[in-house]
Chains A and B, each alone.
Chain A
Amino acid sequence: MDTTSSKRATYIYGVALAEPFRDGHPPLKVSGIGGRGDPVRTIVLRDLAAVVSDVPGLRIDLRRENLLDHQRVLEEVLGRSDVLPFSFGTVAASDDEVRDVLLRDGYEALREQLAYVRGCVELELKVFWERERLFAEIARENDDVRMMRDTIPLLPEDDAAVERITLGQLTEAEIELKSSWEADKVLDVLEPIAVDVLVSPNLGDTMLLNAAFLVAGEREKEFDVAVASLGDAQGGRLVFNYVGPLPPYSFINLAFEARG
């Protein structure tokens, strides 16, 4: 079906401001996706630049190396300009298609989004419970949980099986309560430093916060310090996974429908 896959195509990393990439500025150092050393270049329309590189065909494999290439290009671009990152694996048939469908038809929408994220980076924070401590705290704080813990081993197996489920339900309710309490405390500290926050559903049962923050570049250091002191205060009770700066993936609300 895909008869064009042997043709050269254009991989898109993101859309940035054109100025920092015009003649006279050094070329981007990082090479393009696919491991062939393709240079990363820009397709410019007025003041917008699509950051692209050549790829041999329309299909991109979802592999770690390719994901890293995508991310590395965007990180270097982010060092020079505001950038709207594209979702991994976006390939146009040609430069013309990028210029016409994306930059020209989408110009107003792209400008608007760029204005919104102006000067900002995305910082990702996931906070987890240290598993053993979580359960130890619940057993210590909740009398019912503790009592059931101590009596279940003594019950006949049929009764114990039922009681274990009740204990599990009680525990789950406690986890939810404690998690939202801790998440609120973290957000109370960090939200005022951020321009915008996106809280996503937690992944897995020890995660208590899964948040992306849009933060002005000049306040990133302040944000770092705030995250670090939140972590210090927990003394290993909570684990903080902190990633950034990223291009503002989570704060873009833009989907194009291109002619297939």
Chain B
Amino acid sequence: MAISYDRAPAGSSPQHHASRGGVQKMGGASGLAEVLNVILEKGIVVDAWVRVSIIGIEIVTIEARVVIASVDTYLRYAEAIGLTSLAAAPRHAEPINLPGGQTGRSGLPAIAGPTEEEIFAYLEAHPDGVRLGELEAYFGAERTELQGILNRLVQEDVAILDPERMVYRPAGILAPAIP
């Protein structure tokens, strides 16, 4: 695939650019796909002399030229972002300390939001069920943040969402209540 050029600088073989690091230099013929638009659209143009007939479908797509900002695009981005959580943080990185241990929020810096343990402890203390708004008021935390933690608790089967009353309850009825 390498093409040698008479005017290549002395001491450089046609292979000098082959796979150095992540970058590979391609000649125009081997890199044809990369320079298609250049060959077709740039260079000297003599209007009446350009007589290309497009018959084959070998060149189906030159490239997706325009990415229209559309709902579809946004949804694709949102999906791509959604997938990052799977790679970034394994859900069970920190197993929950089931109550018994003291998980009061007193020692924490004010800025930090509630931990999973704290929320679970609150649920334990209110076995009849807790609304999201109540947690929000109690912890003074962002609704979205609380929602994220609650979702994890539900997924880990330590909490239950009661869909009828829209309240969260601790899952293990046998779990000891907060002293």
Contacts and interface: CB of A to CB of B under 8 A. Distances in A.
Given A62-B55, A212-B38, A149 B47 contact: no
Nearest to A235: B22
Contacts of A148: 81, 144
Interface stretch (B27-35, B96-104, B120-128): B27-35
B9 to A, nearest CB: 5
B36 interface: yes
B23 interface: yes
B50 A229 contact: no
Interface string B35-71: 1101111111111111111111011000111010101
Nearest to A123: B25
A243 B82 contact: no
A75 B39 CA distance: 12
Name the 9 nearest CB pairs between A and B, nearest first. A168-B74, A89-B52, A231-B23, A232-B21, A249-B42, A243-B31, A79-B6, A260-B48, A171-B77
Given A62-B54, A91-B49, 18 more contacts: A64-B56, A64-B59, A67-B39, A67-B59, A85-B43, A88-B39, A92-B46, A124-B31, A136-B87, A151-B144, A151-B148, A167-B74, A167-B78, A171-B77, A204-B63, A230-B23, A240-B22, A249-B35
Given A68-B32, A172-B69, A164 B38 contact: no
B91 to A, nearest CB: 11
B138 interface: no
Contact of B88 (A80, A139, A221): A139
Contact of B22 (A59, A145, A239, A243): A239
A101 B142 CA distance: 74
Interface in A27-75: 58-64, 67-68, 70-72, 74-75
A64 B87 CA distance: 40
5 contacts: A61-B53, A85-B43, A172-B69, A217-B9, A221-B16
Contact of B5 (A71, A139, A154, A245): A245
A229 B22 CA distance: 9
Contacts of B178: none
A152 B77 CA distance: 13
Contacts of A6: none
A188 interface: no
A246 B38 contact: yes
Contact of A257 (B47, B55, B80, B150): B47
Interface residues of B, number: 72
Contact of B78 (A61, A71, A164): A164
B99 to A, nearest CB: 23
Nearest to B23: A231
A14 B44 contact: yes
Contacts of B106: none
Given A135-B83, A234-B22, A252-B42, A61 B50 contact: no
Interface of B: 3, 5-9, 12, 16-17, 20-29, 31-32, 34-36, 38-56, 58-59, 63-65, 67, 69, 71, 73-78, 80-85, 87-88, 142, 144-145, 147-148, 150-151
B78 to A, nearest CB: 4
A8 B150 CA distance: 78
B28 A86 contact: no
Nearest to A124: B35
Given A205-B73, A229-B21, A240-B23, A71 B29 contact: yes
B25 to A, nearest CB: 5
A206 B83 CA distance: 17
Contacts of A250: 38, 42
Interface in A160-201: 164-165, 167-169, 171-172, 175
B85 A150 contact: yes
B82 A124 contact: no
Contacts of B24: 242
Interface string A113-156: 00000000010101000011001101110000101111111110
